[in-house]
């Protein structure tokens, strides 16, 4: 859906590049159908793959009976008992509903619903400041919908905050309405079927209301651990987060029970980490591998309208760990070549590399805001894994003309106070 939104932007660009095209309306239903068909084909593909590899698949809801046995309940309510030497919990998380808010559950939806809506959500209020919130708000705006994001405190907590504010600034400039420092109080259904949301501005304590077609909660996710009867197996969780406590081997408090992915405490909630953790665990269990999952320097990308890719430490975290005096930050505002013809605004296209100040200036973190951020970040993540220093990156010849080459040309340090705007070629 992010891609659908990007394509909307490309249609706009296309006319500047000589294509005789006017901005057409967007058909939500058609997009949703295409996306859902693809997802279904992936579902099918996974089932086929499991079958090919002789993995038994049960469409059951499972819970523990004892440390070696789980009970599976089918759709029809039939129960099946299954036992195993090793058990891996990988139940993930589900969006959280702010149940203390009146009308939240009855009238709101979450990201679990939005991709499956057959009709356009219309004017939408997205509540939350997580990447889910910003991504959804971003593509809804891109598809031409009137979209508002309500953020209680800071966007993208745990991400680099300078980058986070550039992300939201870009969204605001491109038509997403952002309500900061506000929290919803209640959601009511009006007689015309629309939803009236009442919220409070936390600073002024002033109340305000707005009418929306859809309210999307993106206020966090809860691990799917409650229905598992973990206590029957003796698997311990963090009472605050409900996540399962694991060690470096991904083992829970019960040695033969493991947990990977979003249910595990302290793990990044990212698909590829879950995949790799699962794969490595299987290799340790089934063959003689002893390779452990390395959770450091995990790259990730936020698919907001202007994509944000990062790996390693945020500037705040680097300063916290090493002290401001020992950290050097190189940065640049740049303009993607493709932006010049359609005269797109590139005010938020920004790159930051956080390094140790002492030579050879080991790279601690890389933050990239711009088109194709994921593609750009992946290789550098590898570089950081290989112990890249600032010097290594500077000695890498750029690929011209790309956005990624700007990373290899970061020459201005924040400390110098010089203007980091890239000019010319």
What's the residue count for the chain? 425
Q: Strand, helix or coil at 281? A: helix
Q: How far is CA 325 from CA 25, 104, 328, 351, 353, in A?
A: 53, 47, 8, 21, 16
Which of these segments, 63-71, 85-93, 218-226, 299-307, binds other proteins (CB under 8 A)?
Answer: 299-307
Catalytic pick from 16, 38, 46, 400?
A: 400
Query: Under rule CB under 8 A, which residues in 84-113 are in contact with other proteins?
Result: none
Nearer to other proteins, 102 or 213 (CB): 213
Q: Please report how close the Cβ of residue 338 comes to other proteins at its closest, in angstroms.
A: 5
Q: How far is CA 370 from CA 44, 97, 183, 205, 399, in A?
A: 34, 32, 30, 36, 16
Q: Please report how close the Cβ of residue 425 comes to other proteins at its closest, in angstroms.
A: 6
Query: Under rule CB under 8 A, which residues in 211-240 are in contact with other proteins?
Result: none
CA dist 129 and 258 (Å) reads: 31
Q: Please report how close the Cβ of residue 201 comes to other proteins at its closest, in angstroms.
A: 36
Contact 327, 358 (CB under 8 A): no
Nearer to other proteins, 92 or 374 (CB): 374
Which of these segments, 11-19, 203-211, 259-267, 312-320, binds other proteins (CB under 8 A)?
Answer: 11-19
Q: Please report how close the Cβ of residue 289 comes to other proteins at its closest, in angstroms.
A: 12
Binding of other proteins by 117 (CB under 8 A): no
308-312 vs 363-369, strand pairing mode = antiparallel
CA-based Rg of the chain, rounded to a whole angstrom?
A: 24
Q: Which of 165, 253, 378, 413 binds other proteins (CB under 8 A)?
A: 378
Binding of other proteins by 8 (CB under 8 A): yes
38 is an active site residue = no
Continuous segment of H or E residues that includes residue 159: none
Number of chain residues interacting with other proteins (CB under 8 A): 82
CA dist 344 and 323 (Å) reads: 38
Query: Under rule CB under 8 A, which residues in 139-158 are in contact with other proteins?
Result: 143
Q: Which of 80, 211, 238, 271 binds other proteins (CB under 8 A)?
A: 271
Nearer to other proteins, 222 or 292 (CB): 292
Binding of other proteins by 249 (CB under 8 A): no
Binding of other proteins by 282 (CB under 8 A): no
Contact 309, 315 (CB under 8 A): no
Q: Please report how close the Cβ of residue 291 comes to other proteins at its closest, in angstroms.
A: 8
Nearer to other proteins, 100 or 400 (CB): 400
Nearer to other proteins, 144 or 210 (CB): 144
Q: Please report how close the Cβ of residue 6 comes to other proteins at its closest, in angstroms.
A: 8
Provide the token pair at 7: 């394509």
Provide the token pair at 63: 């819970």
Query: Under rule CB under 8 A, which residues in 403-422 are in contact with other proteins?
Result: 403-405, 407-408
Residues 6+ apart with CB under 8 A from 254: 67, 233, 234, 235
Query: Under rule CB under 8 A, which residues in 318-347 are in contact with other proteins?
Result: 337-338, 340-341
Residue among 120, 413, 90, 417 nearest 274 (CA) = 90
Query: Under rule CB under 8 A, which residues in 42-81 are in contact with other proteins?
Result: 42, 45-46, 49
Q: Which of 13, 102, 113, 316 binds other proteins (CB under 8 A)?
A: 13
Contact 119, 109 (CB under 8 A): no
Contact 175, 143 (CB under 8 A): no
DSSP 8-state secondary structure symbol assigned to residue 238? -
Provide the token pair at 328: 């050097």
Q: Please report how close the Cβ of residue 360 comes to other proteins at its closest, in angstroms.
A: 11
Please give the positions annotated as active site: 400
């Amino acid at each position: 859906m992010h891609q659908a939104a990007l394509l909307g932007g490309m249609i706009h660009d296309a006319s500047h590049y000589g294509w005789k095209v006017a901005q057409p309306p967007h058909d939500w239903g058609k997009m949703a159908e295409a996306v859902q068909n693809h997802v279904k084909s992936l579902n099918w593909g996974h089932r086929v793959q499991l079958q090919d590899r002789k993995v038994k698949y049960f469409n059951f809801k499972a819970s523990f009976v004892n440390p070696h046995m789980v009970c599976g309940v089918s759709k029809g309510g039939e129960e099946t008992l299954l036992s195993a030497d090793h058990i891996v919990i990988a139940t993930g998380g589900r969006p959280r509903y702010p149940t203390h808010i009146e009308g939240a559950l009855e009238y709101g939806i979450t990201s679990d619903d939005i991709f499956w809506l057959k009709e356009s959500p219309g004017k939408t209020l997205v509540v939350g400041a997580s990447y889910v919130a910003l991504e959804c708000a971003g593509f809804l705006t891109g598809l031409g919908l009137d979209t508002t994001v309500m953020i209680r405190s800071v966007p993208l907590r745990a991400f680099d905050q300078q980058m986070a504010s550039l992300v939201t600034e870009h969204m605001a400039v491109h038509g997403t309405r952002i309500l900061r420092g506000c929290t919803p109080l209640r959601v009511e259904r009006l007689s015309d079927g629309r939803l009236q949301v009442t919220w409070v501005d936390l600073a002024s304590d002033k109340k305000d209301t707005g009418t929306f077609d859809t309210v999307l909660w993106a206020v966090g996710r809860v691990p799917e651990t409650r229905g598992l009867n973990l206590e029957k197996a003796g698997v311990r969780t963090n009472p605050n987060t409900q996540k399962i406590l694991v060690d470096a081997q991904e083992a829970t408090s019960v040695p033969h029970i493991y947990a990977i992915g979003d249910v595990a405490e302290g793990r990044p909630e990212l698909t590829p980490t879950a995949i790799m953790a699962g794969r490595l665990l299987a290799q340790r269990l089934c063959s003689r591998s002893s390779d452990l999952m390395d959770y450091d320097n995990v790259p990730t990308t936020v698919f907001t309208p202007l994509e944000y890719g990062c790996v390693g430490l945020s500037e705040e975290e680097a300063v916290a760990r090493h002290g401001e005096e020992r950290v050097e930050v190189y940065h640049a505002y740049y303009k993607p070549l493709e932006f010049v013809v359609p005269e797109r605004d590139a005010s938020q296209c920004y790159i930051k590399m956080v390094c140790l100040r002492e030579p050879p200036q080991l790279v601690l973190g890389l933050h990239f805001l711009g088109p194709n951020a994921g593609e750009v970040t992946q290789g550098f993540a590898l570089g950081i894994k290989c112990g890249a220093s600032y010097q290594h990156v500077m000695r890498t010849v750029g690929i011209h003309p790309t956005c990624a080459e700007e990373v290899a040309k970061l020459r201005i340090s924040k400390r110098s106070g010089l203007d980091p705007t890239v000019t010319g070629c």
